[in-house]
């Protein structure tokens, strides 16, 4: 049987993407990464993908959002992924994308608490004593898809946004890889 085809979506440094790349390379994750789509030309994740010999596709946001949506959809369609892995991709995908592909995302909070781009800051501002990470299916909302897995991270009195986010990322990377392997094991292949 062929290995499951993954496409990574990322916008930034790529530490989460790197954990997935490393897990595929080591055999911990039984899959092949067939491409990385990035919307930011200066993102470090592109260098990470290049270093791992993964083809990267730069698709920056366009003035006409519909053209960008079509370009993303067409590229995903051409890559024929079994699963799309959003690894720090800071864009919402079109309803056409989420209706036609299986897409999973990680989020640095215990959803449904603190959705959106500032989850760590929002948890600290709310005075929460714990937060964590959530792996969830992507739907057409903002962090509203069905939850697949979660893990808690305690918030300490000395935490800043940066220190808390780094501790969440450590848990997030491990949980994401484990959850992806479980999803791929259960994935019905045609």
| Residues with active-site annotation | 107
The residue-averaged pLDDT of 129-143 equals 96
Sheet with 103-107: strands ordered across: 56-58, 31-38, 4-10, 83-86, 103-107, 130-137, 147-154
Question: What CA–CA distances, in Å, run from 141 to 118, 138, 145?
Answer: 16, 8, 7
Q: What's the mean per-residue pLDDT of the chain?
A: 95
Question: For a pLDDT cut of 70, what percent of the chain falls above it?
Answer: 98
Q: What is the pLDDT of residue 1?
A: 61
User: Is 187's pLDDT higher than 80?
Assistant: no
Topology at the third CATH level for domain 4-108+135-152+173-186: Rossmann fold (3.40.50)
Q: If you compute the radius of gyration of the chain from its CA atoms, what whole number of angstroms results?
A: 16
Q: For 56-115, how does the pLDDT look when each residue is reduced to its tens digit (9 = 90+)?
A: 999 999 999 999 999 999 999 999 999 999 999 999 999 999 999 999 999 999 999 999
> What pLDDT is attached to residue 122?
98
Is 174:145 a contact under the CB 8 Å cutoff?
no
Q: What's the pLDDT band for 189 if we cut at 50, 70, 90?
A: very low
DSSP assignments along 129-189, one per residue: SEEEEEEEE--SSSS-SPEEEEEEEEPPTT--HHHHHHHHHHHHHHHHHHHHHHHHHH---
């Amino acid at each position: 049987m062929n290995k499951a085809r993954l496409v990574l979506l990322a916008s930034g440094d790529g530490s989460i993407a790197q954990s997935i790349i490393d897990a595929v390379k080591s055999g911990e994750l039984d899959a092949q990464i067939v491409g990385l789509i990035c919307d930011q030309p200066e993102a470090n994740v592109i260098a990470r993908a290049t270093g791992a010999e993964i083809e990267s596709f730069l698709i920056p946001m366009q003035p006409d959002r519909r053209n960008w949506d079509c370009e993303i959809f067409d590229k995903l369609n051409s890559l024929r992924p079994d699963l799309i892995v959003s690894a720090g991709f800071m864009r919402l995908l079109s309803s056409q994308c989420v209706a036609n592909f299986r897409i999973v995302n990680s989020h640095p909070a215990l959803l449904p608490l603190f959705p959106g781009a500032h989850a760590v800051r929002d948890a600290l501002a709310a005075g929460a004593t714990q937060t964590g990470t959530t792996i969830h299916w992507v739907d057409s909302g903002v962090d509203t898809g069905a939850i697949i897995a979660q893990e808690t991270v305690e918030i300490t009195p000395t935490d800043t946004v940066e220190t808390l986010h780094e501790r969440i990322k450590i848990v997030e990377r491990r949980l994401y890889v484990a959850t992806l392997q479980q999803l791929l094991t259960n994935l019905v292949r045609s």
